[in-house]
A and B are shown apart, each in its own frame.
Chain A
Amino acid sequence: MLSALIALPALGALAVGLLPRGKDQLAKPIALAISVAVAVYAIVLAFGYDTTSAERFQLTETYWWIESFGVHWALGLDGVSLTLVLLSVILVPLVLLASWTPADRYGGASTDDVPERSAKGYFALILFMEAMMIGVFAATDVFLFYVFFEAILIPVYFLVGRYGGPQRSYAAVKFLLYSLFGGLLMLAAVIGLYVVGGRNSFLLSDLTGLDIDPATAKWLFLGFFIAFAIKAPMVPVHTWLPDTAGQAPAGALVLIVGVLDKIGTYGMIRFCLELFPGASRWATPVVITFAVISIIYGAVLAIGQVDLKRLIAYTSISHFGFIVLGIFAMTTAAQSGAMLYMVNHGFSTGALFLVVGFLISRQGSARIDAFGGVQKVAPLLAGTFLVAGLSGLALPGLSSFVSEFLVLVGTFSRYQVAAIIATFGIVLAAIYILWVYQRVAGGPSLVDFPDLSKRELAAIGPILAIIVALGFFPQPILKVINPSVERTLTVVEQNDPQPTVAEAPTSPGVRP
């Protein structure tokens, strides 16, 4: 039952949070055990998912929550949400494992300014965040989605504000205000959609396929889209992410960038495209333009960063550009690629943040120039950094490659220019990843610290295994998400363009 899947980490968070003073160390094993239980339970549930079923949502449950508003406690999973739930529940135990010691937290500055960490609070907040993440992806009621969407801000806010670096409170407030601003705009759109729908219900099934006046639909679309663009984050509303990333503890960042930001792209598919197909088509040129700008701008800024965590944040902005591009290209290949990318990006960025977190906790600094020659003193650490980085630059054989390739191919069949410009993002990705690796791991040894411990290996190992496995064999995930893609494209009434083989010589970029 999905409710149980949400309740388990939520109650776990409560239990961990209510541990008596001084039992701080007990919080860690309890939280880890709960998160592992959640992951196992989710995977068991996932095996019950039938990819051939004609039902759109599976594992559904629907109860009245607030009847006078027409709000249901309605949960259910389709292909996209299932994969994202799995991504979350797999990442959480690994994050907990990686955040075991207090050293895993600083934002890379001197440790004097950072007060004692309460492990209890940190682990409880992560578990609470997990509950909200599952809820946000599983909700099939727009109101319920909104509730989770906003409620998740609270644990993140405290994770950044209490456990971050020296500028933590600035970063936390910036994050919260950006998200709240977007969220409240969405609230107006949610109310508007409900009123326009006129069925006294927030169920997704009651709100899809409405015959909305095009002008109204455009406004409602904008309300949703701005909220998701902030979350995703797209240029020009991305500025909260580097600041948050610079200050937040690396463990929390895995979840913030790896999962939380996916709510934005997930929301674009589930709400923008499916609820307002006409308005989505209307907005596509602008969205694609901003997506391409995000790809290039994020990548260029990533190259110029001096802080490891900010660098990864900017690479993510670039990657989110690819995801949004794939979603709004509205072809089967591009959208499958985008959905797959959401999962792959979660794992590869998660891996990068974890490794970077290990590096920072050893050196006490997040500045790239504080490192050098890591591969001599800690070959394993440097190796994992390289693999995670290569996954980030979409090296064939690692998971991101498949998705990036699909996005570009799918986009090219409709928007050649955008696809061509976006391809430069890959070139830039090679620069920022390889250059940072060279500066951190290559050269004369500037650092002296131990290699990965068994605990750290246990945290990073499974992610790398998944990255490689999905790089060679993405089929299981594609099989799950493809029905969702087809359904979304049917709703937006977009057919794939006919292959233009005959015209190939005249169109640029396909010259033999």
Chain B
Amino acid sequence: MTASVLAAGNIPAPHVEYDLVAPLLLVFGTAVLGVLVEALFGRRWRPRIQVPLAFAGLGAAFVWTVILAVNADPHQVAAEGALGIDGPTLFIQGTILVLAMLSMLLIADRRQDTFAAQAAALPGTDAEARALAGGSEHTEIYPLTLFAVGGMLMFPASNDLLTMFVALEVMSLPLYLLCGLARRRRLLSQEAAVKYFLLGAFSSAFFLFGIALLYGYSGSMSLGDIAQVVQTGQTIVPEEVVGRVQPQEATEALLYGGVALLAVGLLFKMGAVPFHSWKPDVYQGAPTPVTALMASGTLVSAVGALLRVFYVALENMRWDWRPMMWAVAIITMVVGSIVAITQTDIKRMLAYSSVAHAGFLLTGVIATSENGLSSVLFYLAAYGATTIGAFAVVTMVRDTSGEAGHLSRWAGLGKRSPAVAGIFAFFLLAFAGIPLTSGFTGKFAVFRAAFEGGAAPLVVVGVLSSAIAAFFYVRVIVLMFFSDPEPEGPSVVVAPATAAAVALGLAATVVLGVLPQPLLDLAGQAAGQLFVR
């Protein structure tokens, strides 16, 4: 049949709504341009071109997203049903773009020499010195980051499972590479890259198998079709064979197996327990700017995709998946909070804190209501900004061997650099959810949604794990302010771009804590549109 169609020359050209997918195309286009820059320009020129190019691409995509959100009715599927462009998606994409720009500030800060000059060169060796003297820099970081960001934008917008899988891989592959590029502690960094890659590949396989089972169940990849099959119990018949093939009873076992495997893939990306074990290693080993991008952008994207799958495709079977998500949310909150207590490395601690926050986000997801959706959207934006700010501070606290990762090195920082330590303490308080910070507003929003959704026990577990989590956040504050400084403790290196990222993160944390109404409105409007099918 294919041959005959080809012969007739009447392949229908896919219809793409370019205006709706423009943000994606802008980011991917800039990434491709970046690759060309790598190929065509000399070493000295590359950074000078790559950095403005990356910001221009992200900025333009953000502006376009805003225009889409403001203008007309974006509530529709685009690109032959492959992408859904709707309120929540635009909110998530806007958030990812802002967070990507903040992370890009960290990545582009060349004074911090975070990245290896050459993947094979050890720090402080002649090889590295030669590479640096030759002006060698990993400028391919910029196109790689942009590809990852493009994948992040596409992941939550995917309206069918195949597109979602492609987006997942486009997002993940560059991140695996980026993880291995830390200048200091190369082995740790490479270990992180390999671990992330292997575990990521595993979870992708689960995800793919889940897709296969769901296709077997429903006869379609589209989220909307799956939702329909869940409702009717009859499989979808492809258009070309309508009439010749009768719909069949859908097999429930395939559905449950598919949902479970799909959830594994999604929960892995957001780092929920028991799929969290990659997080501490990867967050610790990766260059800190990349960690910041992963802790904010990837999380937002993964939660966005999770929301779309569970709110669109599986909404009608929420009574079936809720118990599973309850269990995951509870152990994620509890394990994340408790294990974080024992950490001695600041980045590992933040990684476990991110695990705990994934749990708090899940309480909002479980609500499956408009409030649940809008609260999760708000939480993501607030948490992302704070996280980047916190990791930016981590890159600033340095000693002779690079970033001072071990917590004991942070002792007495409050005496040496009160401003930086004070800001970091504020970020920690925001993570802990103290009022007048964005963390509190976000936590309140998801807990309220969960309570309304009848998940009161989940809220109680949530507040109790918040109390546990507060312990280790406070411990760092104690260390910074109430301990005596080490004689040769780290110093704070302030570079302009990093400082800008810290300032923006701080501003977002304060404003969203004190005057959250505008963003809450925005999230509410976005959520009010619901996901398109």
> Residues of A with Cβ closer than 8 Å to B?
64-69, 115, 146-148, 150-151, 153-154, 157-158, 161-162, 168-169, 172-173, 176-177, 180-181, 184-185, 187-188, 191-192, 194-195
Contacts and interface: CB of A to CB of B under 8 A. Distances in A.
A69 B445 CA distance: 8
Contacts, number: 89
18 contacts: A67-B521, A68-B517, A68-B521, A69-B448, A69-B520, A146-B435, A151-B435, A153-B434, A154-B434, A169-B483, A172-B482, A173-B474, A173-B478, A176-B470, A176-B474, A177-B471, A185-B463, A191-B451
A201 to B, nearest CB: 13
Contacts of A157: 474
Given A169-B478, A184-B463, A184-B464, 10 more contacts: A68-B524, A154-B434, A161-B482, A181-B467, A184-B433, A184-B467, A185-B463, A191-B444, A191-B447, A192-B451
B166 interface: no
Contact of A150 (B435, B451, B481, B516): B435
Interface string B467-490: 100110011001001111000000
B512 to A, nearest CB: 11
A188 B459 contact: yes
Contacts of B434: 150-151, 153-154
Given A68-B517, A68-B520, A188 B463 contact: yes
B452 interface: yes
A151 B521 CA distance: 25
Contacts of B471: 173, 177
A170 to B, nearest CB: 9
A169 B447 contact: no
Contacts of B484: 115
Residue among B429, B444, B452, B483 with max Cβ neighbours from chain A (10 Å): B444
A194 B436 contact: no
B138 to A, nearest CB: 41
A68 B371 CA distance: 10
A181 to B, nearest CB: 5
Interface string B497-533: 0000000000000000000110011001000000000
B151 to A, nearest CB: 32
A157 B475 CA distance: 12
Contacts of A146: 435
Contacts of A194: 448
B423 to A, nearest CB: 14
Nearest to B460: A188
Contacts of A169: 478, 482-483
Interface of B: 374, 429, 432-436, 440-441, 444-445, 447-448, 451-452, 456, 459-460, 462-464, 466-467, 470-471, 474-475, 478, 481-484, 516-517, 520-521, 524
Contacts of A68: 374, 517, 520-521, 524
B474 A158 contact: no
Contact of A162 (B475, B482, B520, B524): B482
A172 B460 contact: no
A115 B460 CA distance: 41
B168 to A, nearest CB: 32
A150 B433 CA distance: 10
B466 A184 contact: yes
A173 B467 CA distance: 12
Contacts of A65: 517
Nearest to B470: A180
Given A66-B520, A68-B524, A151-B436, A187 B444 contact: yes
Contacts of A180: 432, 467, 470
A151 B514 CA distance: 12
Interface centre among A158, A184, A192 (most CB of B within 10 A): A184
Contacts of B464: 184-185
A390 to B, nearest CB: 38
Contact of B436 (A147, A188, A192): A147
Contacts of B516: 66
Contacts of A66: 441, 516-517, 520
Nearest to A181: B467
B366 to A, nearest CB: 15
A192 B524 CA distance: 21
Contact of A192 (B429, B456, B462, B474): B456
A67 B517 contact: yes
A88 to B, nearest CB: 20
A67 B445 CA distance: 12
B481 A161 contact: yes
A191 B475 CA distance: 28
Nearest to A195: B451
Contact of B447 (A67, A161, A177, A188): A188
B127 to A, nearest CB: 46
B436 A173 contact: no
A195 B372 CA distance: 14
Name the residue among B462, B478, B482, B520 with the largest chain A CB count within 10 angstroms: B482
A72 B483 CA distance: 40
A349 to B, nearest CB: 26
B474 A69 contact: no
A19 to B, nearest CB: 13
